Structure 1
Amino acid sequence: MRRVVFNQKGGVGKSTITCNLAAISAQQGKRTLVIDLDPQGNSTQYLLGVSGDSLDSTLADFFDQTLNFKLNPKATGDFIVASPFDGLHVMPSHPQLEELQSKLESRYKIYKLRDALDELAGDYDCVYIDTPPALNFYTRSALIAANACLIPFDCDDFSRRALYSLLENVEEIKADHNRDLRVEGIVVNQFQARASLPQKVVQELIDEGLPVLEPYLSASVKIKESHEQAKPMIHLEPKHKLAQEFVSLHDNLARKYGA
């Protein structure tokens, strides 16, 4: 299963959701890979505790290789780094991804990520792809390479308005490039159960027939501690309410859609 976590709006929790679901997959015995396509590198920092510019092999090196033909290119696995958590590996980000983007786009390297994941078929049970907060080359590459798309939603009216164009963009990529792509659902993040506005906005999504997933992920200061210590919630404090919500979300997705 290849899942891309995507929203064109920043600050909605893409990296947090990506890394926590991936950590649970690995903890449950699945061979799991996280691909961090965001030049900011939040997932890389979260899972490895270091930034991509301190690593020898990153996604910038992988994509740069696609621009420069070599008789003996590195295998995709050479760009993967083991995390401190058993069964969890990362293709780390690098700030250089930003400057590579225009070259990759102009030379139509949009299918290279899909080809790389095909090369890794059988090595991993689950692949989670973190994306930049924009519909750019990297996000399109991820949507073309993935089976499924999760959409983080932070209970904000601006996020709600952006949902419709986001869903249209995903459907366009499905029609043009990836017939197998499906939207698994909307992940409600930073939910405040006692506040009226989040409840109202989420209920409106449900009433409109949009695929809102359960459980909703609670707002918690504990997630900041999780980021700071570079430990997903299942490793930092597995009995915490938010950790258990991530587990329930992961398990619901696994029951409904597979790995």
Structure 2
Amino acid sequence: MHRVVFNQKGGVGKSTISCNLAAISAARGLKTLVIDLDVQGNSTHYLLGQKVADQDRTLARFFKDTLGLSLFGKGQDEGLNAVIHETPYPNLYIAPSHPELEPLQGRLESRYKIYKLREALETLSGFDRVFIDTPPVLNFYSRSALIAARRCLIPFDCDAFSREALYNLLAVIAEIKADHNDGLMLEGIIVNQYQSRASLPQKLVEELLAEGHPVLDTRISPSVKVRESHSESKPLLYYAPDHKLSSEFQALFDELET
């Protein structure tokens, strides 16, 4: 199962959602991979405790291989396997990001390498679940992720700007599905940083439901524990297993897997 977590708006919790769902998946005994396509590398830092300085051990190497630009000619036939790292958590792995992804975009687009991630995932064996974290912009990497995935999750952080952006996202997903990936399904909209006692979040969610959008039942609450877990580089399942937020993420995972 390949899932992409996608939103063109920054700060909506893509990395937090990707990593915490992946950590729960791994803890449930599923061998799980996170692919960090955001050049900021937040998922990489969250799961490894640091960013990976050696670009030859990151997704920059994978994409350079598709251009025939691999350093020293290494790894031409290894695909994603060459850049997958174990994390400190059982069954949880990551293909880390690197800043070098940014300048590679132009060459990748001009050489039409948009399908290479999908091809690599189709031949990658041994993983039960894959979560793809995307940059907060529609670019080569987010399009590659949408083409490679089977299911798409959209974080929604309950403000009027997010609602307007959501309609654009839905159009993008529909276009990718029509032109490049007919197997892509919008699995659900994840309501993140939901304040149950505030009127605006309730109103926005009710309106989305009334319009027939696939809003998931589980709501993720705002909490300082998220920032603390980022700082400690520990998913909530390990940082604060008894906290309400950990329970919400587990409920979200169960909802998706049902």
**TM range, smaller chain:** over 0.9
- Distance in 1, Cα, partners of 2:45 & 2:220: 22
**5+ long unaligned stretches in structure 1:** none
**Structure 2 counterparts to residues 82-101 of structure 1, below 5 A:** 82-101=86-105
Tell me the residue number matched to 2:116: 112
Q: CA deviation at 1:71?
A: 9.0
Amino acid at match of 1:52: V
Tell me the residue number matched to 1:142: 145
User: Is the partner of 2:218 in helix, strand or coil?
Assistant: coil
Q: Does 1:186 align with 2:192?
A: no
How high is the TM-score relative to the length of structure 2? Answer: 0.96
Q: CA deviation at 1:243?
A: 0.4
Q: CA deviation at 1:221?
A: 0.6
User: Is the partner of 1:193 in helix, strand or coil?
Assistant: coil
User: Is the partner of 1:215 in helix, strand or coil?
Assistant: strand
Residue 167 (structure 2) aligned to one of 150, 164, 169: 164
Q: CA deviation at 1:156?
A: 1.0
Could you say what the CA RMSD is over the residues aligned between the two structures, in angstroms? 1.3
Q: CA deviation at 1:52?
A: 2.7
Q: Is the 8 A contact 1:53 1:95 kept in 2?
A: no
Deviations 1:81-109 (A, max 9, x none): 00000000000000110100111001000
Q: How many residue pairs are counted as aligned between the two chains?
A: 254
| Distance of aligned partners of 1:13 and 1:71 in 2 relative to their CA distance in 1, 3 Å threshold | closer
Amino acid at match of 1:93: S
Q: Is the 8 A contact 2:135 2:142 kept in 1?
A: yes
Tell me the residue number matched to 1:11: 11
- Distance in 1, Cα, partners of 2:98 & 2:77: 18
Q: CA deviation at 1:56?
A: 4.8
Amino acid at match of 2:224: V
Tell me the residue number matched to 1:200: 203
Q: CA deviation at 1:235?
A: 0.7
- Distance in 1, Cα, partners of 2:62 & 2:134: 16
Residue 73 (structure 1) aligned to one of 57, 72, 76: 76
Tell me the residue number matched to 1:57: 57
How high is the TM-score relative to the length of structure 1? Answer: 0.95
**5+ long unaligned stretches in structure 2:** none
Q: CA deviation at 1:220?
A: 0.4
Q: CA deviation at 1:53?
A: 2.2
Q: Is the 8 A contact 2:55 2:100 kept in 1?
A: no
Seq. identity, %: 61
Q: Is the 8 A contact 1:8 1:134 kept in 2?
A: yes
- Distance in 2, Cα, partners of 1:178 & 1:66: 20
User: Is the partner of 2:215 in helix, strand or coil?
Assistant: coil
| Distance of aligned partners of 1:72 and 1:10 in 2 relative to their CA distance in 1, 3 Å threshold | closer
Q: CA deviation at 1:50?
A: 0.6
